[in-house]
Amino acid sequence: MSEIFREIAGLLLPLAFLALVLASAGCGSLLPSVKQTTRSPWETFDEAKNAFDKIILYKTSTEELQRLGFSPFSTPNIKIITYLDIIQRFMANPSIKKEDLDNGLQTCIDAKSNCSAYEVQPKFIASQRYGSVLLDLFNFSRKTHQSGWEFEALIVIVHDTVVYKLWGGKPAIDESKETKNPLGPLQDASDLLFDATRKTM
């Protein structure tokens, strides 16, 4: 236990010095930020949805899908799945029969290896910590705001022609999270101390 306290003491001095530097700056922009992007031809949710809406069942070909941006061979991060994945996804419940599915999905299952599907999940998420730099630095309070969008689409193809499509996602992400630690920088150490005490009992 004494080793834990020595480690804590060794951390406090440099943290205190850094706190003085940050206090003089007093700028929330010093807090870290993260951007998570799944690269795609679309800059916004609406752009992805508009491209998806141009897909016409039993008419749009794989060549036309490529022009719209829905081809795994020209657009990164598009997953190709098989008819077995379609069965697993839509008939996971034994009470669901093939006859209960959309005609396009039934066509896919009947076509077997002549059926494939594209799973598309473009997104852009920006995460920014905000609030007091000192409270964040010393782990007393950390506030995080997330914004962006996520688009999801499933496009089922039989013999190079789209027979089924489905879309979903989050047009606008706006989420905030606040984590409070009453013990600040000692919080993790107190958890370790609690675990160590519990193991010795």
String of DSSP letters for 3-50: HHHHHHHHHHHHHHHHHHHHHHH--GGGS-EEEEEE--S-SSHHHHHH
Specify the pLDDT at position 124: 87
Tokens of 77: 């991060």
Specify the pLDDT at position 193: 42
d(CA 122, CA 152): 7
d(CA 59, CA 114): 17
Q: Are 135 and 181 in contact (CB under 8 A)?
A: no
Q: Are 151 and 46 in contact (CB under 8 A)?
A: no
Tokens of 92: 């996971």
Specify the pLDDT at position 177: 74
Specify the pLDDT at position 13: 53
Specify the pLDDT at position 52: 97
Q: Are 71 and 78 in contact (CB under 8 A)?
A: yes
Q: What is the CA 145 to chain-centroid distance, rounded?
A: 14
Specify the pLDDT at position 3: 55
Per-residue tens of pLDDT for the chain, all 201 residues: 455 545 555 555 555 555 554 554 445 556 666 655 666 789 999 999 999 999 999 999 999 999 999 999 999 999 999 999 999 999 989 899 999 999 999 999 999 999 999 999 998 888 777 556 655 565 666 777 788 899 999 999 999 999 999 999 999 988 777 676 666 565 554 454 445 444 555
d(CA 36, CA 43): 13
Coil, helix or strand at residue 193: helix
